[in-house]
Structure 1
Amino acid sequence: MTNVVIFVVEEYEPHPGEPSDTELLGLYEGTPLTERDSWWDAGSLPDRISIFRGPLMRLCDSREELVEEILVTVVHEIAHHFGIDDDRLHQLGWG
């Protein structure tokens, strides 16, 4: 992967119009590889993958469960970078 940054962020902050109690484990923000044209990289900012520490920690009851959920979340968000949508990720077991 090139021109992608990954952040660990404490909490997801809902966008305007989203319910204030929205919790996400991760978020991909960018243009998937499948949607880029030949002009895409001419000055484009990096895609962003954010992993949200607070929701992950609240979801899991053990260190082992947390490590597994972080793995699933990171793979899920990276898959979005490659153009794989949520429906397909669920079919593959990475939902």
Structure 2
Amino acid sequence: MYRMTDEEFETAIAEALDAMPEQFMEALQNVAVVWEEEPSAYHLGYDEEWDAEPWCAEDEYHESGTPGERDAKDDAAAENAGGEREAEDGEEEFDDLLGLFDGLSIVERANGYDDDIPDVITVFKGPHERCFSSREEIVEEVGKTIIHELGHYFGLNEDQLAAMGYE
């Protein structure tokens, strides 16, 4: 596990955003990109506080949508989105989330949009550090996470993002 300073992590996010094609960045309307150390119970879609240590799914690591949408998923869909795994030999089940888009896609905004509160893309530092073993890997995965979450802003679903290589 590689630990980054907060400044290094912020720089990784800034570099990932700078690398995005200009037309994509110009199309963002009222979207904030922020980072947090760990996902909260809200981010994970739980009603109660989540105080367990998360785990890292190696191939499936993003989940998005509003907490209500995530709550509505059945177990199979949540597993496909990387949200849960089966416990092994007495382990508890944990969630690990690298990023989250919380808001309305531009497709959903077509039905009317109150832009007083920005939609938010949150990138989580702790899960990136646990899931990837070098600075280079973390920086690369931060970029993938941001692309994945921007994909949700542009109206892409999990299957479409997976088909493009952003599982």
TM range (shorter): 0.7 to 0.9
> What percentage of residue pairs aligned between the two structures are identical?
39
SS in structure 2 opposite 1:28? strand
Listed as ranges, the gaps of 5+ residues in structure 2 are 1-27, 51-93
Note the 1:3-82 alignment, pairs <5 A.
Answer: 3-14=30-41, 15-17=45-47, 20=50, 21-37=94-110, 39-41=112-114, 43-82=115-154
Regions of 4+ moved over 6 Å: none
TM-score where L is the length of structure 1: 0.88
Q: Which protein has the bigger helix share?
A: 2
* C-alpha distance in structure 2 between counterparts of 1:78 and 1:5, whole Å: 11
1:7-60 CA deviation, whole Å, 9 max, x = no partner?
Answer: 110000133258x4321000000000011135314x441100000000001111
Structure 1 stretch displaced more, 24-33 or 61-70: 61-70
Paired residues in the alignment total 94
Counterpart of 2:123 in structure 1: which amino acid?
I
| Residue aligning to 2:78 | none
TM-score where L is the length of structure 2: 0.52
Q: Which protein has the bigger strand share?
A: 1
SS in structure 1 opposite 2:151? helix
| Structure 1 residue 3, shift from structure 2 partner | 0.2
State the Cα RMSD in Å. 1.9
